């Protein structure tokens, strides 16, 4: 007996609809993975880039952080522009700008222009990132939305590791310029994919808040600049303090302006919604811990365990698997049963994992990775529900702003995590290695005096100069200390071994303390979730049934 024709038609329509939904999610995830991977991809290539373009340490810092600064500062206005003019069109424009910025380093070799290219790439990324999530939440039906957000959050969560992996793989066989060729090709490929999906935009088309946009950009840019500079210049540096205080004051001005305008960039009253507030705070603290951990663990893998950049990325694969699996599970549990319980448990487990990473900071790889898996489990469970809590409680017409809120919390958290971990590590390492640096200087000066007494004044003068340089490099970082140890003469094996051992210890101890501090922050966040987060994901159903404007053609 054959099925009625109408049933066959319904099944065909359902299959086509599911394929369309899956394709939208795939395209959005491909674009966001590119943006997130580019955040950290250059860190492993800096030793190759520096001598080729003659960059100073300060310029190298801004080659990485210029991208992050532009991305974080422009997320809010970029999300609002996407809501107003069409999210697909803004995504395509962002990808084109990302490709253009990524193409510049293929040909240029001047440090200043290199930094400019990274800022341009970051501007493009700022238009890409909020559009990807808002396209999912505005085009995917409510019944599938949780799955879409889960997949997006999982991809965004492990995108940085993918960047490390691809960069390490390329550097094994090609020059650092191949990284930018890959970015350009990937951006163009994503741009082609985006042309195959529909678009959505705000059906009310409100007035754009120019004043709020300018204030938000300056506030976040100034604040992130201070976070970037603090580990190098110190938290008490006048410029750092001025930017920190100025950024916070400008954020206060932004809130004041938003409460007094008819068409705010971000209606700050949305934070009365406990689910949205809990999700935003959770995203901020999770990424503070995760990016602080990345800063520490990549050095651990490469400088303590001796892995190559590619080997370090492969060493993080267990974390990737755990995060991907538990991101899907955590969001399903939070939507189906209890947001408060899932956020609380996830962040408490994540915090415990970070504290254990600090306790076992000098352990061997498999012990360290087992503890890392505990942290990854908690992160995976909590990250997707945090994003869902923001997006579900954001009106459908303002999904770009909701996505920008999620992404800004991510980027601010990343900047805070790296600043905190970097500052604690630098201060602790410098203090612990000081005795070794002074002993090394004294020993090399003693050898120089012996050369002078033996009638070799030129060699003695060179060794005296290298003694001061060696002590200076030893005090800066573990990487430079290991370089000093390698360059010592073969007859100084005992000194080489002592420098290596003491430098390792001077790194692992403060690295462990940094992990514990970050873990405590997440544990405090877990306690706050138990008080702040509601049981239900969506507190107010208003706007949930509001009609969408979806087009399959141009915006």
Joined together, the tokens standing for residue 491 give: 């007859």
More confident residue, 191 or 453: 191
More confident residue, 412 or 552: 412
- On average, the pLDDT of the chain sits at 83
Q: What is the pLDDT of residue 243?
A: 92
CATH at residue 432: 1.20.1250.20
Angle at the Cα of 374 (from 369 to 377), degrees rounded to 5?
Answer: 120
In a domain, 269, yes or no: no
Which of 190, 206, 222 is the last residue before a domain boundary? 206
Model confidence at 553: pLDDT above 60: no
Q: What is the pLDDT of residue 64?
A: 79
Q: Tell whether 170 and 293 lie within a shared domain.
A: no
Task: State the average pLDDT over residues 206-213.
Answer: 82
More confident residue, 119 or 61: 119
More confident residue, 309 or 182: 182
Contact assessment for residue 260 and residue 285, using Cβ atoms and an 8 Å cutoff: no
In a domain, 449, yes or no: no
Q: Tell whether 231 and 323 lie within a shared domain.
A: no
Using pLDDT thresholds of 50, 70 and 90, give the confidence band for residue 8.
low
Most confident of 155-164, 274-283, 532-541, 542-551: 274-283
Model confidence at 160: pLDDT above 80: no
Using pLDDT thresholds of 50, 70 and 90, give the confidence band for residue 123.
very high
Q: Tell whether 283 and 358 lie within a shared domain.
A: yes
Task: State the average pLDDT over residues 16-27.
Answer: 84
Model confidence at 204: pLDDT above 50: yes
Task: State the average pLDDT over residues 242-261.
Answer: 92
Q: Tell whether 222 and 155 lie within a shared domain.
A: no
Would you say how long the chain is, in residues? 555
Task: State the average pLDDT over residues 218-239.
Answer: 87
Q: What is the pLDDT of residue 296?
A: 87
In a domain, 6, yes or no: no
Contact assessment for residue 286 and residue 550, using Cβ atoms and an 8 Å cutoff: no
Model confidence at 537: pLDDT above 90: no
Model confidence at 203: pLDDT above 70: no
In a domain, 504, yes or no: yes
Which of 206, 234, 252 is the last residue before a domain boundary? 206
Q: Tell whether 170 and 245 lie within a shared domain.
A: no
Q: What is the pLDDT of residue 542?
A: 41
Q: Tell whether 86 and 233 lie within a shared domain.
A: no
Q: Measure the CA–CA gap between 401 and 393, rounded to whole angstroms.
A: 12
More confident residue, 514 or 157: 514
Q: What is the pLDDT of residue 550?
A: 40
Q: Tell whether 258 and 279 lie within a shared domain.
A: no
Q: What is the pLDDT of residue 96?
A: 95
Q: Tell whether 86 and 132 lie within a shared domain.
A: yes
Which distant-in-sequence residues (6+ apart) come within 8 Å of 348 by Cβ?
378, 523, 526, 527
Q: Tell whether 74 and 101 lie within a shared domain.
A: yes
Q: Measure the CA–CA gap between 427 and 361, rounded to whole angstroms.
A: 17
Domain count, the chain: 3
Proportion of the chain above pLDDT 70, given as a percent: 92
In a domain, 328, yes or no: yes
Using pLDDT thresholds of 50, 70 and 90, give the confidence band for residue 500.
confident
Strand partners, 550: 200
Using pLDDT thresholds of 50, 70 and 90, give the confidence band for residue 551.
very low
More confident residue, 466 or 555: 466
More confident residue, 101 or 206: 101
Q: What is the pLDDT of residue 4?
A: 58
Model confidence at 546: pLDDT above 70: no
Q: Tell whether 65 and 148 lie within a shared domain.
A: yes
Specify the pTM: 0.85
Most confident of 193-207, 272-286, 295-309: 272-286
Q: Measure the CA–CA gap between 238 and 389, rounded to whole angstroms.
A: 39
Give the closest residue to 86 by CA, choosing from 94, 376, 335: 94
In a domain, 77, yes or no: yes
Residue with tokens 């580990």: 231
Residue 471 has what DSSP assignment? H
Chain Cα centroid distance, residue 46 = 17
Contact assessment for residue 297 and residue 511, using Cβ atoms and an 8 Å cutoff: no
More confident residue, 464 or 33: 33
Residue 175 has what DSSP assignment? -
Q: What is the pLDDT of residue 205?
A: 60
Proportion of the chain above pLDDT 90, given as a percent: 26
* Complete DSSP assignment for 388-452: HHHHHTS-GGGHHHHHHHHHHHHHHHHHHHHHHHHHHHHHHHHHHHHHHHHHHHHHHHHHHHHHH
Residues spanned by the domain of 500: 274-438+470-548
Q: Tell whether 294 and 406 lie within a shared domain.
A: yes
Q: Which of 96-105, 479-488, 512-521 is least confident?
A: 479-488
Using pLDDT thresholds of 50, 70 and 90, give the confidence band for residue 91.
very high
Using pLDDT thresholds of 50, 70 and 90, give the confidence band for residue 493.
confident
Model confidence at 376: pLDDT above 80: yes
Q: Tell whether 122 and 89 lie within a shared domain.
A: yes
Model confidence at 187: pLDDT above 50: yes
In a domain, 461, yes or no: no
Q: What is the pLDDT of residue 548?
A: 37
More confident residue, 412 or 494: 412
Which of 161, 189, 206 is the last residue before a domain boundary? 206
- Measured from the Cβ of residue 116, the count of other Cβ atoms closer than 10 Å reads 16
Model confidence at 352: pLDDT above 90: yes
Using pLDDT thresholds of 50, 70 and 90, give the confidence band for residue 16.
low
In a domain, 460, yes or no: no
């Amino acid at each position: 007996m054959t099925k009625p024709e109408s049933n066959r038609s319904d099944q065909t329509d359902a299959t086509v609809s599911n394929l369309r939904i899956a394709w939208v999610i795939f395209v959005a995830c491909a674009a966001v993975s590119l943006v997130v991977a580019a955040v950290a991809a250059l860190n492993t290539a800096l030793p190759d880039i520096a001598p080729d373009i003659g960059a100073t340490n300060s310029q190298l810092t801004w080659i990485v952080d210029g991208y992050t600064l532009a991305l974080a500062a422009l997320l809010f206005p970029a999300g609002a522009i996407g809501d107003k003019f069409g999210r697909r069109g803004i995504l395509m424009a962002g990808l084109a700008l990302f490709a253009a910025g990524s193409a510049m380093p293929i040909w240029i070799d001047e440090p200043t222009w290199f930094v400019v290219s990274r800022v341009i790439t970051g501007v493009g990324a700022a238009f890409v990132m909020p559009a990807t999530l808002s396209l999912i939440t505005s085009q995917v039906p409510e019944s599938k939305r949780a799955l879409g957000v889960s997949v997006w959050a999982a991809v965004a969560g492990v995108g940085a590791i993918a960047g490390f992996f691809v960069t390490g793989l390329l550097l094994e066989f090609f020059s650092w310029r191949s990284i930018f060729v890959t970015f350009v090709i990937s951006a163009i490929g994503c741009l082609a994919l985006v042309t195959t999906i529909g678009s959505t935009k705000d059906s009310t088309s409100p007035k754009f808040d120019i004043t709020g946009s300018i204030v938000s950009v300056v506030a976040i840019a100034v604040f992130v600049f201070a976070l970037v500079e603090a580990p190098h210049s110190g938290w008490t540096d006048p410029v750092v303090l001025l930017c920190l205080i100025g950024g916070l004051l400008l954020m206060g001005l932004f809130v004041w302006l938003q409460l007094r305008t008819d068409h705010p960039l971000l209606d700050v009253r949305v934070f009365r919604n406990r689910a949205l507030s809990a999700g935003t705070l959770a995203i901020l603290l999770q990424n503070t811990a995760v990016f602080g951990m990345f800063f520490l663990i990549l050095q651990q893998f490469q400088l303590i365990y001796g892995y190559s950049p590619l080997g370090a990325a492969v060493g993080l694969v267990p974390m990737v698997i755990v995060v991907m699996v538990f991101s899907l599970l955590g969001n399903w549990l939070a939507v189906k049963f209890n947001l408060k319980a899932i956020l609380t448990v996830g962040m408490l487990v994540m915090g415990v994992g970070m504290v254990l990473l600090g306790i076992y900071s000098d352990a061997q790889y498999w012990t360290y990775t087992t503890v890392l898996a505990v942290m990854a489990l908690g992160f995976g469970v909590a990250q997707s529900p945090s994003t869902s809590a923001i997006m579900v409680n954001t009106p459908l017409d303002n999904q770009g702003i909701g996505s920008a809120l999620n992404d800004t919390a991510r980027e601010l958290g990343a900047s805070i995590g790296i600043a905190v971990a970097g500052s604690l590590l630098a201060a602790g390492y410098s203090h612990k290695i000081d005795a070794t640096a002074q002993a090394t200087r004294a020993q090399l000066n003693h050898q120089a005096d012996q050369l002078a007494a033996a009638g070799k004044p030129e060699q003695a003068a060179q060794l005296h100069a290298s003694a001061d340089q060696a002590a200076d490099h030893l005090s800066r970082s573990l990487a430079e200390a290991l370089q000093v140890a390698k360059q010592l003469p073969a007859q100084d094996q005992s000194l080489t071994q002592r420098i290596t051992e003491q430098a390792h210890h001077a790194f692992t101890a403060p690295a462990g303390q940094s992990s514990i501090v970050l873990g405590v922050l997440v544990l405090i966040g877990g306690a706050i979730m138990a008080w702040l987060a509601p049981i239900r994901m969506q507190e107010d159903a208003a706007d949930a049934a509001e009609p969408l404007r979806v087009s399959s053609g141009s915006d």
